[in-house]
Chain A
Amino acid sequence: MNPEQPNNAPSPPPNQPQVYNSAQPPSGPQSIYPPPKPPNKNKRLFFILGTVGLVVILAVVILLVALSGGNKKNPAVVKNTSQSNNQPQGPQPAQAIDAEQANNSISQDISGINDDKDFPPTQLDDKTLGL
């Protein structure tokens, strides 16, 4: 028995010359058996990683679809937000017209109240009250 051969490999029949396909003899000892197969452990790991990756990708896709679907349900909100972003918010620096409008408005307010009408000077006189 040849020690270089694996135990599982069948041994060549005895007393038979070896047949060469080429004119030149082989350079050295050559195994005629296929290389050993990789162990099953690597396959399993590859399968698990692939599954996890696929799940992650699916989850991201679902999330994106849900978000884009939610935005589509409330277009008014989106439109209002975009519109409000275009308009200035909060108080603005005063211009001449603002101060003038405030002045005119205050004039209108103060002119709308009449002291003589609200508090007539003879309102509580003896004559008015019949005393």
Chain B
Amino acid sequence: MKKYLRFATSLSLAIIMALSGAATAFAATQPAPPPPGGTFAQRLAQRKAERGIQLDARDQQRLTSRCAQAQSSIRSLQQVTTPVIANRSKVYQRISAKLWVIIGELKLAGKDTFNLEKQLSALAGKTSNFQATSANYQQVIDDTLVVNCQADVVGFKALLDTARLYQASLRDQSADIRNYVTNEIKTTLANHVSELQPKPDTGGQ
């Protein structure tokens, strides 16, 4: 009987720990993309529902007194982020275009380009995800500047937390694209370079 009791207690604790871990993970999960054509009020309501922000009186007072200054900093950040994201998208497009060209030339040379084409397709998917995330990130930054942070400090906090999550996603996606290009695509291209090298004469007699 005692064994069964101990087993039940252990199982319950394990389930509780698993659920709390899941809750923590849920709080940091990727925010859902806003519905297209949605208004600011709809997006604000969505972010507040996603984050489930709860502030005590002390945090509310602190944020209310300092949020205007934070919005000034975010405005400066917005002016820097927009051209950065545009330039990065151009770089990804340039890489894809170069791959298209070399794939065509390799085909004319009679080489098997299946792997390279598969990698180009994967790269296109990654850059597409990056562009979607960057668009959502810029939208949240805009909303953070629009919200009346002193009147709706919870909304301001929810938008700020969402922006942080999107920025972390952008960093992860950028690193993933960099690793993929460096470790996969460039390796395949290097193999093609070796295949295309003129073979030395074995020497005939």
Pick the most buried of A99, A109, A128: most chain B CB atoms within 10 A of its CB: A99
- Segment from B6-14, B16-24, B44-52, B69-77 that makes contact with A: B69-77
CA distance A115 to B171 in the complex (A): 6
Within 59-86 of B, Cβ neighbours of A (below 8 Å) are at 62-63, 66-67, 69-70, 73-74, 77, 84-85
Could you say which residues of chain B place their CB within 8 Å of the CB of A118? 84-85, 88, 174
Binds B, one of A4-12, A14-22, A35-43, A87-95: A87-95
Give the distance to chain A from B25, nearest Cβ to Cβ, in Å: 20
Contact of A119 among B101, B171, B190 (CB under 8 A): B171
The answer to whether B102 has its CB under 8 Å from any CB of chain A is yes
Whether A71 is near chain B, meaning CB under 8 Å from some CB there, is no
B104 interfacial contact with A, CB 8 Å: yes
Instruction: Indicate if A105 sits at the interface (CB-CB under 8 A).
Output: yes
B109 CB to nearest chain A CB (Å): 4
B118 at the interface (CB under 8 A from A): no
- State whether the Cβ of A48 lies closer than 8 Å to any Cβ in chain B: no
Bound complex: CA of A123 vs CA of B70, how far in Å? 12
> How many residues of A are counted as interface, with CB atoms below 8 angstroms from the partner's CB atoms?
28
B102 lies within 8 A of A94 (CB):
yes
**For chain A residues 73-131, which have a beta carbon within 8 Å of chain B?**
91-96, 98-100, 102-103, 105-107, 109-110, 112-113, 115, 118-119, 121, 123-124, 128-131
A95–B66 CA distance with the chains assembled, in angstroms? 62
Q: Find residues 149-205 in chain B having any chain A CB closer than 8 Å to their own CB.
A: 160, 163-164, 167-168, 170-171, 174-175, 178, 181-182, 185-186, 189-190, 192-193, 196-198
Which residues on the A side are within 8 Å of B197 (C-beta)?
A: 96
Given A102-B98, A115-B178, A130-B70, the answer on whether A96 and B167 have CB atoms closer than 8 Å is no
Q: When chains A and B are docked, how far (Å) is the Cα of A113 from the Cα of B170?
A: 13
Given A96-B197, A118-B84, A129-B73, check contact A109 B111 (CB 8 Å): no
A96 to chain B, nearest CB (A): 4
Choose among A102, A107, A109, A130 the residue that contacts B91 (Cβ–Cβ < 8 A): A109
* Structural contact, A110 and B108, CB atoms closer than 8 A: no
Known: A115-B178, A129-B73. A102 touches B66 (CB 8 A): no
Judging by beta carbons under 8 Å apart, are B178 and A99 in contact? no
Contact of A94 with B185 at beta-carbon distance under 8 Å, contacts A102-B102, A119-B174 already known:
no
| Chain A, 35-59, CB within 8 A of any chain B CB | none
Q: Please name all residues of chain B whose beta carbon is closer than 8 Å to the beta carbon of A112 when the two chains form the complex.
A: 91
Beyond the given A107-B186, A119-B167, A124-B77, could you list 15 further A-B residue pairs with CB under 8 A, ordered by the A residue number? A94-B102, A99-B189, A99-B196, A100-B193, A102-B102, A103-B193, A106-B181, A109-B98, A110-B95, A113-B88, A119-B170, A119-B171, A121-B171, A128-B73, A130-B70
Q: Would you mind naming 13 contact pairs between A and B with Cβ atoms under 8 Å apart?
A: A93-B110, A95-B109, A96-B198, A98-B105, A99-B189, A99-B196, A103-B186, A103-B190, A106-B181, A118-B84, A118-B174, A124-B74, A124-B164
